[in-house]
Amino acid sequence: MIEIAANNSTLRSWVFVPENSDFPIQNLPFGIFEQKGYKSAGVAIGEMVLDLGGLQSYGFLDGIGLPDKVFEKETLNAFLALGRKMGRRVRNKISELLAEGNIELKNHYDIKSLLIPQKEVKMCMPIQVGDYTDFYSSEQHAYNVGCMFRDPDNALLPNWKYLPVGYHGRASSIIASGVPIHRPKGQQRPNDDEPPVFGPCKLLDFELEMAFITCGENLLGESISTEKAEDYIFGMVLFNDWSARDIQKWEYVPLGPFLAKSFASSVSPWIVTMDALEPFRIPGPQQDPKVLPYLEFEGDKHFDINLEAAIRPEGSGERVVTNSNFKYMYWSMAQQLAHHTVNGCNIKTGDLYGSGTLSGPDPSQFGSMLEISWRGTKPVPMSDGSERKFILDGDTVIMRGYAKQEGIRIGFGEVSTKVLPAL
């Protein structure tokens, strides 16, 4: 395990951090916030946002090699392009400034403009997504879908345990938490004996995922090994990869999902660094059959991150419908990135990579309504007495995640999206 100063479990901050906060001093995730027309990079600490643009302008980040005004941008891309080592330097410096007993920042004359309540700002998309890849790396999810649509005895396709299955998705429709979506429209074929029909999706679904974001580039034709892969991964966000199941069923053969997935995907606003997640490494599953050499790796490449998804009907309280975990990945992020580039594909800073739906072995851990309601045969009760097989207009889907050990909770906040009627 890498020793990182900002991860010290004994650290406490002079900024008030409520019990069970997602954002203790050991986290310090990066995001982009807006207040009264001013937009800047920020770091979350407790219930506050630390303005990094202002922090740098006052000289608090001098001496660590940052370009001028790197945080006074619309996105974090320019900062991420400096790489993980620079990200670590900045996070360690912020940790030092926020640590209990350090009065350098605490007693600054303009501290009220630098440390802003989160409730007073609008969180924005943290990055400009250049390219987006979605993987399909939870074995239980793949098995569940295979059981529903194929044969339970042959639920996994022949390639699934030999390579991290993925597809190239649409980047322009990746949106920040809080941005509502309209129900998508498209072709569906509800009756196999009749021609398709066109109209609003009737089987709208969420997919409980996480996503990692890259902070470096390789040359076209150059592969990234599993050993080097994590050098290119800056951090992670929660990811709701919306899915129109009825549209997808009709369109996905032979080239895979298209309109069923490209209408929207929602991300949480705070990027939790891989450095902050370092203490939560765990071994992954035993991979059988043995993977090909380019997918072999050493060490613990999986992470123990608790996840949940809730549905809030309009005008009512929310109901948690699943509790899962990022550890239910068969393929690690390092393997995913190694496979992605083994053909010479070049990646860029700000690219986003979805994990695929994260389902655990118990039905209470399934990561989509397709599985939770088992194709609509097991309706789920809501807080207002109604039931859900899939997502209805007016519903808000909320996802949360955190890792926790030794009393330290490293959280992701939430990604929340309301569904509006089709236009």
Catalytic residue positions, numbered? 141
Task: Say which residues have a Cβ less than 8 Å from residue 306's Cβ, sequence separation at least 6.
Answer: 323, 325, 401, 402, 403, 404
CB–CB of 168/131 below 8 Å?
Answer: yes
CB–CB of 349/215 below 8 Å?
Answer: yes
**Tokens 């088992």 identify what position?**
374
Q: How far apart are CA 201 and CA 420, in angstroms?
A: 12
Q: How far apart are CA 273 and CA 27, in angstroms?
A: 8
Structure token digits, residue 160: 């699934």
Buried b (16+ CB within 10 A) or exposed e, 376-386: eeeebebeeee
Structure token digits, residue 29: 């995730």
Q: Which of 19, 33, 39, 42 is nearest to 91 (CA)?
A: 42
DSSP-based helix, strand, coil % in the chain, nearest 5: 20, 30, 50
How big is the CA angle at 173 (ends 50 and 178), to the nearest 5 degrees?
Answer: 45
Q: How far apart are CA 20 and CA 33, in angstroms?
A: 23
Q: Dmax over Cα atoms in the chain, in whole Å? A: 74
DSSP 313-355: -TTS--EEEEEEETT--SS-HHHHHHHHHTT-PPP-TT-EEE-
Position 256, amino acid: G
Q: Which of 78, 103, 400, 97 is nearest to 239 (CA)?
A: 400
**Tokens 């309504």 identify what position?**
369
Q: Which of 324, 329, 374, 377 is nearest to 354 (CA)?
A: 329
Q: How far apart are CA 7 and CA 26, in angstroms?
A: 5
The distance of Cα 301 from the centroid of its chain, to the nearest Å, equals 17
SS3 197: strand
CB–CB of 306/401 below 8 Å?
Answer: yes
